[in-house]
A and B are shown apart, each in its own frame.
Chain A
Amino acid sequence: MIGFNTNVEYNTAMLDVASGFGSSDITMGSLFASAGGWTMLSYVDDATGHIGLSFFTTTPMTGGTGSIADVRFHLPLNGSSGSVGLDVNGAAGSETGLVYTYSDGSIDIDASTPSIVGTDGNDSYYIRRTAYDMVEVYAGTSASGTPIYSALLASISSVSFDTGAGDDQLIVDLANGTPLPSAGISYSAGIDNDSLTLTGNGSSNAAYMPGASSGSGNFAIGASAIAFAGVEPVSASGLSSLVVVTPGASDVIQLTTPQAGKGRVSGTSDGAAFSPLTFFACGEVLLDTPPMTEQPATTPSPSPPEISRPSSTP
């Protein structure tokens, strides 16, 4: 039988690992998993930043290089940028004269690209800009309680939401101006019925640009955009101007009124259905489709909102 112990020490102020024996954040690496015969035991004390790993086997291994264990480190949402060391250590040698050496690692934390990760349940997030040019993200559908994330808008370049499974929603509030950083917002909504809601203050302009694949696209606001995937209903309100730009060369567009005062644009572009857009309280709504191929609404509602076609793409 052969075995050895290795430890990893980390900074608990900047990293988290699930504590306890058999931590869920530690798995056997591909080298030992593929070789077979190895047993790995792990113990994590996240209070002190200690990971203890013990490996043993009774089966000969022909040799190889690669991962013997994979450790998932969680980076707190309100952490700061910087490099944090991973101190790999253990015994210096064996009784047979072999010398053990250890090489430390590091994680470079980027606070300018915060990532909000949801659950497999129903997640709701609300993002806004404050009067002091801060970006705030709340868990929920309004700015109530304590934000789960906040930062100066100028200090970040992007924000991503990965909400996983469940019926998720993202609400982007433009009341105090756009909260979109220069590289925009990424919204990966996952499976199930997920929504994107844009609420303006009456002065913002936006362009809804569904992508070629169903549920994906961009919502451009100023010089930035919300890139989304896996989103089914999209809604926008309180905009000065809203432009719908279809991606394909051949569109079938339907304009309906789901309820009084609201309009909906739905249909297909090059045969692919795009996420329907519901809008209300918008100064104007422009439909930008390819010339010569657009078709009239096939099932118009009794009183669809007024739609006009722009003279040019914004």
Chain B
Amino acid sequence: MNSNGVLDGLDASWLAQKSLFAPSRPEIPNIPAGPIGSFAGFDPNFAMPQHVHGSVGSSVIVPLVSPTALKV
């Protein structure tokens, strides 16, 4: 990936960066749209709760949840 002829840690780092922010690694072509692999069973849903209360100056932790059963 980094053209040094071997698969090393730098390749892994570049790949991780590409997966999160595609423009950060133009050396790597974009993958086709859509998730890779698949879940088994139900269609996945990902959600965050609504109306989480927080005061100015504080911080709140909001979970990204799977309200339907994920199975792989």
**What is the interface of chain A, defined by CB distance below 8 A to chain B?**
1-6, 8, 21, 29, 31, 41-43, 45, 52-54, 56-57, 60-80, 83, 86, 88, 90-96, 98-111, 113-117, 149, 160
Contact = CB atoms under 8 A, between A and B. Distances in A.
B4 interface: no
Interface of B: 16-17, 19-21, 33-39, 41, 43-72
A28 to B, nearest CB: 10
Contacts, number: 204
A66 B55 contact: no
Contacts of B37: 1-4, 56, 94
Given A29-B63, A70-B63, A100 B35 contact: yes
Contacts of A92: 34
Nearest to B31: A5
Contacts of A109: 54-56
Contacts of A94: 34-35, 37-39
Given A66-B66, A100-B43, A78 B56 contact: yes
A45 B23 CA distance: 13
Contacts of B16: 21, 41, 54
Given A2-B36, A41-B16, A106-B50, A77 B60 contact: no
Contact of A83 (B17, B35, B51, B66): B51
A107 B65 CA distance: 15
B59 A98 contact: no
A160 B54 CA distance: 13
